[in-house]
Amino acid sequence: MHVPDGFINAPVSVAAGVVAVAGVGVALRGARRELDDRTAPLAGLTAAFVFAAQMLNFPVASGTSGHLLGGTLAAILVGPYTGVLCVSVVLLVQALLFADGGLSALGVNITVMALVTVVVGYGLFQLVLRLLPKNRSSVGAAAFVAAVVSVPASALAFTGLYAVGGTTDVSIGKVAAAMVGVHVLIGIGEALITAVTVSSVLAVRPDLVHGARGLIKPPRLRTVEASEPKAGPGGPAEPSRA
Amino acid sequence: MGAGHAAGAAHRLYVPGASPVHRLPPQCKLVAVLAFVLLVVATPRERFWAFGVYALLLAAVAATARIPFGTVARRVVIEVPFVAFAFLMPFVASGEKVTVLGLELSENGLWGAWNILAKGTLGVVTSILLAATTEPRLLLLGIDRLRMPQLLTQIATFMLRYGDVVAAELGRMKVARASRGFEGRDLRATRVLAKSIGALFLRSYERGERVHLAMLSRGYDGRMPVVHDVSATAAQWTAAAALPLAAAFVTLAAWTMP
């Protein structure tokens, strides 16, 4: 759920806005390194993808359904900096055009949903990947762990902001328990989708999974020459000339 | 969870018109809206009358822009998730209890619920009015004029431009799944849906690569050419300032009056 206006008081909203501007500023610089002059079209299309993927509802339990948040997924696929930019732009457009999330709470939403999810998700992804053997199934496992933790982490970050600038005296323990409890469930759905999505992209275009770049070699085109080195002159024609 | 809106629906939010509100440059409207929302949030919640005046101000804007009441009311549905949250507040908040209709409710929680409902609703209506009177394309141009980094506005522009395309791709995948007998019922559906998302990412990203090459071949050098410039005169800034100025008086009164 996007934070609406009036949930967090004005001073803390503005402070979160400053944090969000700083974070997006760092991401702007980093994204140039990840994508150079292709940044605008590729990050734009990825943002459109995140937006569309959020529309896909998946069943959670007993008739309720959740939908993807996509922070960790975007970070693993296109890199952490570009991931922050994509999710931030999605949040900006949702607040400006769809009234989804308050304008005064935009800083809170970007901090909690773009910065925290990506930093926690991507950091954890890299950490787990370093501990596991370098193969395809461990990339999926790392994506699962990263996504499953990133969603409750983002809920905890929101609870922290609420503790400082909340507008109602609900005991923070209660808020934390409720937020984390609900978001652990959402996180499991998110993690399943993230892991399977990353694995399926990895199977087709391993070069497009930024988080696993250099880890997994792209499928090599095996020529007849390579697989049957002893093929004589009467064998199949050399494919390298084709 | 506020799903159910398509990226492609962006241009359907705009209600065409030629009212003074429609004709204001987008950057003026953006600044006015942001200032207004911040003032609303900064108002003490005990001043009921202040929120009434804010609502009247927004009604005046809607009337000037000739946005039908029904259009605004239908779009306010987006706030349903946090309305539900607000109704929980009186039951979970701590502090002194009051009895309302035989229910033990926290007084502080009641204030909190009112606070979220009033400020959240005013914020949602403000955003709805902004989107209804400004074309998405112009809104992004306005952000650009407010010195938002070029890269960010370019990403947002591409997202809006191709949102329709990507959403339609997702729609075709849904038809393809349904025509093969797929029904998302339980957790096992996740595998199929996630594979669709993976394919959607590949198609989006590869489209991005093609778009980039097409742009390069037309002379793209990292900046988008400005085709339609929107500049604002002092008179237009003053006109746009009417809403936040009126709101500022209300906020001031709400803080100083006992």
CA distance A124 to B227: 44
* Structural domain includes residue B161: yes
Of B164 and A26, the one with more pLDDT: A26
Tell me if B159 and A54 make a contact (CB, 8 A cut-off): no
- Range(s) of the domain holding residue B19: 7-143+230-256
Do B134 and B244 reside in the same domain of the chain? yes
* Structural domain includes residue B194: yes
Do B138 and B175 reside in the same domain of the chain? no
Give B105's strand partners.
B98
Q: Which of residues 40-99 of B touch A (CB under 8 A)?
A: 40-42, 45, 75, 78-79, 81-82, 85, 89, 92-95
Q: How many CB atoms lie within 10 A of CB B233?
A: 10
Do B211 and B139 reside in the same domain of the chain? no
CA distance B7 to A48: 7
**Per residue in B67-105, pLDDT tens?**
888 888 888 877 777 777 777 777 766 666 676 666 667
Question: By percentage, how much of chain B surpasses pLDDT 90?
Answer: 5
Q: Where are the domains of chain A?
A: 10-241
CB of B244 within 8 A of CB of B35?
yes
Residue B196: what are its φ and ψ, rounded to 5°? Answer: -60, -45
ipTM for the complex shown: 0.83
Question: Which helix (H) or strand (E) segment is A28 a member of?
Answer: helix A10-35
CA distance A79 to A125: 11
CB of B174 within 8 A of CB of A62?
no
Do B162 and B134 reside in the same domain of the chain? no
3-class DSSP state of A197: helix
Tell me if B37 and A54 make a contact (CB, 8 A cut-off): no
Of A226 and A67, the one with more pLDDT: A67
* Structural domain includes residue B223: no
**Per residue in B171-198, pLDDT tens?**
899 899 999 988 877 667 778 888 888 8
* Structural domain includes residue B221: no
Across chain B, what does the average pLDDT equal? 82
Do B61 and B158 reside in the same domain of the chain? no
C-alpha angle A101/A104/A106, rounded to 5°? 50
**Per residue in A91-150, pLDDT tens?**
998 888 887 777 888 899 999 989 999 999 999 999 998 888 878 888 889 999 999 999
Do B50 and B17 reside in the same domain of the chain? yes
- How many distinct structural domains can be found in chain B? 2
* Structural domain includes residue B222: no
Do B29 and B86 reside in the same domain of the chain? yes
Residue A238: what are its φ and ψ, rounded to 5°? Answer: -65, 125
Q: What distances in angstroms separate CA B122 from CA B40, B116, B129, one per listed residue? A: 8, 10, 11
* Structural domain includes residue B54: yes
Closest by alpha carbon to A30, among A92, A122, A96?
A: A122
Q: Which of residues 106-125 of A touch B (CB under 8 A)?
A: none
Do B109 and B65 reside in the same domain of the chain? yes
CA distance A35 to A43: 9
Of B244 and B5, the one with more pLDDT: B244
Tell me if A97 and B120 make a contact (CB, 8 A cut-off): no
Q: Within an 8 Å CB–CB cutoff, is residue B14 touching chain A?
A: no
* Structural domain includes residue B157: yes
Do B193 and B245 reside in the same domain of the chain? no
User: Of the candidates B155, B199, B220, which has its C-beta nearest A44's C-beta?
Assistant: B155
Q: How many CB atoms lie within 10 A of CB B226?
A: 9
A179: pLDDT strictly greater than 80? no
Closest by alpha carbon to B226, among B163, B161, B148, B150?
A: B150
Shortest Cα distance from B234 to chain A (angstroms)?
24
Q: Provide the pLDDT for residue B95.
A: 65
Q: Provide the pLDDT for residue A228.
A: 53
B227: pLDDT strictly greater than 80? no
3-class DSSP state of A60: strand
Band (pLDDT 50/70/90 cuts) for residue A22 is very high
Q: What is the chain B residue with the closest CA to A195? A: B194
CA distance A215 to A217: 7
CATH 1.10.1760.20 fits A10-241, yes or no: yes
DSSP B186-224: STTHHHHHHHHHHHHHHHHHHHHHHHHHHHHTTT--SS-
* Structural domain includes residue B1: no
Tell me if A174 and B2 make a contact (CB, 8 A cut-off): no
CB of B113 within 8 A of CB of B90?
yes
State CA A45 to chain mean position distance.
15
